Amino acid sequence: MIYNIPYIAVAALILLGLYALIFKRNLIKMVIGITLIESGVNLFLITLGYRKDSIAPIYTSSPGGTMAFPIPQALTLTSIVIGVAVLALMLSLVVHIYRHYGTLDVKKIRRLKE
């Protein structure tokens, strides 16, 4: 059980993010929720690739020994950059929503009703 602490951290991060996304009324907090979920998923990916007592998969002056998985690290790198891109777009839309409505409260800006 003690070995699974990183996974518990993953679950906690994702749940916090989902909580912020679903129950918070402020748009910025919703954006923070998305980024929290994203960090949770990234942590999950990188955790999957760890082997006990392993070193980074780099041969330059390496001390030798088992190496951690390189693929999850590459995938996490990709996922982080994608997260930055999504975050930039979300924040620029939030700026525009604030310009139009003068508020960030999600209940006050629902103009797209039937």
Partner 1 sequence: MDKRNIASVIVFTIVAIFFVISSLLIHPFGMPDESEMDDYIIENTQEETGANNGVTSVVFDYRGFDTLGEATVLFTAVAGVILIFRRLKND
Partner 2 sequence: MNIPDYLIPMAVAIPLLGAFLTPLISKINDKLRNIFVILILALNAVIVILIASKIFTNGIMTYVFGAKDITYPVVRILFEVDAMSIFMAIICSILVLVAVIYSWAFMKDNTGLDKYYTLILLLTAGMLGMVLTGDMFNFFVFLEITSIASCALIAFWIDVDKSVEAGFKYIIISAMGALFVLFAVAILYGQYNALNIAVLSNLIQYSYLDKIALVLLIVALGMKAGIVPMHMWLPDSYGSAPSSITVILIGATLASLYGVLRVIFTLYGNVLSTLVRFDVSVNIVIGWFIVALAVVSIIIGVTMALIQSEFKRLIAYGAVAEIGYMLLGIGAGIVALGTTYGKIALNGGIFHILNDALDVGLLFLVAGSIYYATRETSLDKLCGLARNMKYTTVFFIIGLLAVSGMPPLNGFASKLLIYESTFQINPILAIVAILCSILLLAVFVKVFFSAFMGPALPKYKHVKEVPKSMLLSMGIIACIIVFIGLFPDLIINNIVEPASNALLGYSEYVSQVVGGI
Partner 3 sequence: MTEMSRIVRTISSIAFPFSMIFGLYVIAHGHLTPGGGFQGGAIVASACAMILVTFGSKWTITKIKEKKLSILESLGAISFIALAFLGLIFGAVFFNNFLVGTDYLFGVIPPTGSVIADINTGGLLPLMNFAVGIKVIAGLFVIVLVMAYATSSFREENK
Report the interface residues with partner 1, using CB under 8 A.
Answer: 3-8, 10-11, 14-15, 18-19, 22-23, 44, 47-52, 56-60, 67, 69-71, 73-75, 77-78, 81-82, 84-86, 88-89, 92-93, 96
Q: List phi, psi (to 5°) of 105.
A: -75, 125
Three-class SS state of 105: strand
Task: Give the one entry of partner 3, partner 1, partner 2, none that residue 114 binds, where binding means its C-beta sits below a cut-off of 5 to 8 angstroms depending on kind.
Answer: partner 2
Phi/psi at 109 (nearest 5 deg)? Answer: -110, 10
Minimum separation from the CB atom of position 78 to partner 1 (A) = 5
Smallest gap from residue 35 Cβ to partner 1 (A): 14
63 vs 95 by CB, closer to partner 2: 95
31 and 90 Cβ atoms separated by less than 8 Å? yes
CA distance 20 to 42: 18
The Cα 87–Cα 38 span in angstroms is 10
- Show contacts with partner 2 in window 91-110 (CB under 8 A): 93-94, 96-97, 100-101, 109
